[in-house]
Structure 1
């Protein structure tokens, strides 16, 4: 896979992360401004200022939760995009990076004496380097590594690699790429929209509680 292509793919994945991060945070700020304007008179109708104070704290801090939910949704959308549209390209890019840096890993004769831990360490190091290009790439690739045990997949292919030779090296590289592509199933990476819905419901419920219940308790 050409480096220009992977950079374009990473940029598109980054757009999905940042757009949801900004979108969810902006929505959280807007919603809580509306809640504060609607419920200020309710929360301040008693003699105690505690309900109004808690309402202000709730509406000020709630957008932070939308920021983190947006971050999670953005990463999920980026991973789904990578797996659905560019699963083959990404798997080939990973294998290409591995073969460029550690060509001996695809040679059974050289890797036979290596322990699985040593092989896994080299693979992890190379995959982590892919995430060092930018903060967004680091976020996406680190999440990808956490979600899927790519190291075990690559290790199983290496352990089943037949006798060494140029032909077997190419065959093993293709097997690794195919195994990685099969591991990244797009259906398993669809963003879960239940968390944002629960956050909105809990946010409104908390503001309503501060405005309607607390003034009755703290009269």
Structure 2
């Protein structure tokens, strides 16, 4: 397996996450400001406690909460876009890199299945620390990759499969990395604009309904 992994690719992937988040927030906020401008007269016409007033308040709440909603959507779609690029070109080196980081932090991981199971609980708990003191974009890329491909679950399965084999640690690491990489589909993370389209359509439908009904 080729373990060469240009750090520039990881930084670029992390930038994809942050830029997608920023873009989604801007689109969501501007879109909801337009809706607020269009329906401002109706939102102002609230008089006492009624179903209509409750609907107006709900519509305003959606507008106010739009930055958070679109942040979450942007983070999800940004992670997917970043992971798609990484998986397509560098899933093998990435898996090897993450396993190496885990082994460097927990060198007794290959000491047998019984002890490995105990150590693995600490690995999952301290995985963010395992990633190390990298740059923001680099950490974002590694976390996005690990989360989307279910890395920790696959690594735990691989440890159960190869952990007790009488192999040198380097060879064991190699076998685990190959096994995990084979189980990461390359076409699963293709980014699309469908989630954003659905979010915008739902957004305008809910706000318009709250303002008009």
The equivalent residue for 1:93 is 97
Deviations 1:128-147 (A, max 9, x none): 41165345554554452473
CA contact (8 A) 2:155 2:180 kept: no
The 2-side partners of 1:126 and 1:60 are apart by 35
Contact 2:43 2:211 in 1 (8 A): yes
Match of 1:116 in 2: 116
Secondary structure of the corresponding residue to residue 115 of structure 1: helix
Return the offset for 1:190. Answer: 3.1
The question of whether the paired residues in 1 share the 8 Å contact of 2:18 and 2:78 is answered with: yes
Structure 1 pair 17–113 and aligned structure 2 pair: CA distance change class (3 A): closer
Match of 1:34 in 2: 34
> Kindly tell me: are residues 171 and 25 of structure 1, through their superposed partners in 2, closer, same or farther at Cα, counting changes over 3 Å?
same
Whole-Å separation in 2 of the counterparts to 1:113 and 1:38: 63
Q: Which residue of 2 aligns with 1:77?
A: 81
Aligned-partner SS, 1:209: helix
Corresponding residue for 1:22? 22
Give the greater-gyration-radius structure (CA). 1
Moved more, 84-93 or 15-24: 84-93
1:186 is matched with: 186
Give me the TM-score of the superposition, normalised by structure 1.
Answer: 0.73
Count of residue correspondences: 202
Over aligned residue pairs, what C-alpha RMSD do you find? 3.3
5+ residue gaps, structure 1: 214-219
Asked if 1:151 corresponds to 2:155, the answer is yes
Structure 2: give runs of 5+ residues left out of the alignment.
Answer: none
Asked if 1 retains the 8 angstrom alpha-carbon contact of 2:112 and 2:164, the reply is no
* In 2: Cα distance, 1:180 partner to 1:56 partner: 47
